[in-house]
Amino acid sequence: VANNSFGKHFRITTWGESHGKAIGVVVDGCPARLELSEADINEELKRRAPGANAWVSPRKEEDRAEILSGLFEGETTGAPISIIIPNTNQDSSKYEPIKELYRPGHANYTYLKKYGIFDYRGGGRASARETACRVAAGAIAKKLLATQNIHVVAYLKGVGDMSVDMDMSVDLSDLPSVLKARNSSPLFCPDVLTENEIIRRVDRAKSEGDSLGGVVECITAGLPVGLGDPVYEKIEANLAKAMMSLPASKGVEFGCGFAAAAMRGSEHNDAFGVNGLLSNRSGGILGGITTGELLSLRVAFKPTSSIKKQQQTTDLQGNIREFTLPKGSRHDPCVAIRAVVVVEAMAALVLADAFLAAQLQPILQNACASYATSVPSL
Ligand SMILES: Cc1cc2nc3c(=O)[nH]c(=O)nc-3n(C[C@H](O)[C@H](O)[C@H](O)COP(=O)(O)O)c2cc1C
């Protein structure tokens, strides 16, 4: 299964499966002399880990990252940073009764058709366990961005059919407050009223043996004007790919997003004032390049595929069968909750990559200019 790398200048390669010995990530391209510790990474992993409360999977994954390379006396050396996270809480026996069945909403159907082999004990590379590696790498990207005063914060905006256009009581331009409120919420939701509504809905879906989808919003403050390129490296193109590479993500939008389609130009355009844009319906991006305003995006996550309700499926030979999750199966009632941390990590990875690309631009531009003046014109 190829294509396990992401990014150009800040490049990550993840490896491992949910029921193997360990998972891990190699981060290549991180500049030298960035202060970094295992604690920085483990703090982020702890936020992603399941088992924290009644609204996420009860699996207990004691995610503890170990940095194997690329670090000397608490600073990055510029060499590849290799991180390993041992798998400590696999329970393969749960999968035994369903190993001959296609799992509705899961990847074992397409994997088996494509590769002819699938480790039935979990999701293999499709398992959301892989996202722990992204979070570990994202922790480094976040530290790099913080040196430039760039901060990324994601939070849960809503679940089920809640309107995501409802304003929250938090002031999004005050990122430290958003972060504080988000971090004190078990559902990563910075607004108490919205959080209560989410809890009510998730509890209800859970008690009915069902699951819910949800929307994660992510904002980034402190971006300079000029990250991203105008065509294939548009910042929203790379962010969209990052978000759509997440398990269970089904849609992404920037700024006003899909609502922009129902607006007129006179409603949607951001007017310019002497100090920049007067509004931010474009979500901080024009022509694929950051405007210097808050960058905002949303990701829609489908309802968790694993549900207690009975469903129809077939066995590997194509015979109709009933699909019931084995007793004691552990899963997230709404994957969007834990996806918050992963969305934040992916946004940080894309922006760190774009930041490093932007550093190269003036160097190359100057080199071209001095070459042009040194070559006599014909
Ligand atoms: C953080 C996170 C946790 C997830 N936990 C579960 C889970 O407990 N049960 C489940 O069925 N799917 C879970 N998923 C989603 C599945 O991994 C995903 O839906 C499945 O692999 C099929 O891939 P697809 O939805 O991208 O098509 C989770 C996704 C994320 C991002």
In 3D space, the residue among 206, 217, 228, 234 whose CA is nearest the CA of residue 330 turns out to be: 206
The ligand 1 site (C-beta within 6 Å) comprises 57, 106-107, 123, 126-128, 131, 246-248, 302, 304-306, 331-332, 335, 338-339, 342
Residue whose C-alpha is closest to residue 129's, from 266, 244, 274, 246: 246
Whether residue 288 contacts residue 236, with contact meaning beta carbons closer than 8 Å, is answered with yes
- For 172-207, the pLDDT digits (tens) are 889 999 999 999 999 999 999 999 999 999 999 999
Instruction: Name the residue with higher pLDDT: 374 or 16.
Output: 16
Rounded Cα distance, 294 and 209, in Å? 39
CA nearest neighbour of 131 among 325, 256, 299:
299
Give me the helix-helix angle, 235-244 and 335-374, nearest 10°: 150
Report residue 369's pLDDT band, with 50, 70 and 90 as the boundaries: confident
Per-residue confidence at 90, pLDDT binned at 50, 70, 90?
confident
As a whole number of angstroms, the longest Cα–Cα distance in the chain is 80
At 262, the amino acid letter reads A
What's the token pair of residue 235? 């910042």
**pLDDT above 70: residue 28:** yes
**Backbone dihedral angles phi then psi of residue 20, each to the nearest 5 degrees:** -90, -170
CA angle 203, 122, 202 (to 5 degrees): 10
Q: From the alpha carbon of 248, which atom of ligand 1 is closest?
A: 25
pLDDT higher than 90, residue 227:
yes
| 48 CA closest ligand 1 atom index | 1
pLDDT of 236: 97
DSSP secondary structure string for all residues of 340-374:
HHHHHHHHHHHHHHHHHHHHHHHHHHHHHHHHHHH
pTM for the complete prediction? 0.95
Q: Which protein residue's CA is at the shortest distance from atom 9 of ligand 1?
A: 331
Give just the sign of the alpha carbon dihedral 82, 88, 91, 92: positive
Statement: residue 124 has pLDDT above 80: yes
* Token code pair at residue 13: 């390669």
Q: Would the pLDDT of 169 be above 70?
A: yes
Residues 299 and 240: their CA atoms lie apart, in Å, by: 9
Q: For residue 239, give the nearest of 290, 276, 279, 280 by alpha carbon.
A: 290
Tell me which of 202, 304, 341, 346 to substitute to probe ligand 1's pocket, judged by most ligand atoms within 8 Å of the beta carbon: 304
How far is residue 91 CA from its own chain's centroid?
Answer: 26
Assign 165 a pLDDT band (cuts: 50, 70, 90).
confident
Choose which residue among 335, 342, 343, 346 to substitute to test ligand 1 binding: the one with the highest number of ligand atoms within 8 A of its C-beta: 335
pLDDT band of residue 234 (cuts 50, 70, 90) is: very high
Ligand 1 pocket mutation, candidates 188, 330, 332, criterion most atoms within 8 A of CB: 332
Q: How far is the CA of 165 from the centre of ligand 1 (A)?
A: 25
Assess contact for 85 and 137: CB atoms under 8 A. no
Surface-to-core class of residue 359, CB atoms within 10 Å of its CB (0-12 exposed, 13-18 middle, 19+ buried): exposed
Which atom of ligand 1 is found nearest the CA of 247?
26
The span from the CA of 243 to the CA of 348, in Å, is: 11
Give the closest residue to 168 by CA, choosing from 176, 157, 184, 160: 157
The torsion angles phi and psi of 198, rounded to 5 degrees, stand at -65, -45
Distance 116 CA to ligand 1 centre (A): 21
pLDDT digits (tens, 9 = 90+) for 202-212: 999 999 999 99
Between strands 151-159 and 214-221, the pairing is: antiparallel
Q: Does the pLDDT value for residue 2 go beyond 80? A: no
SS3 59: coil
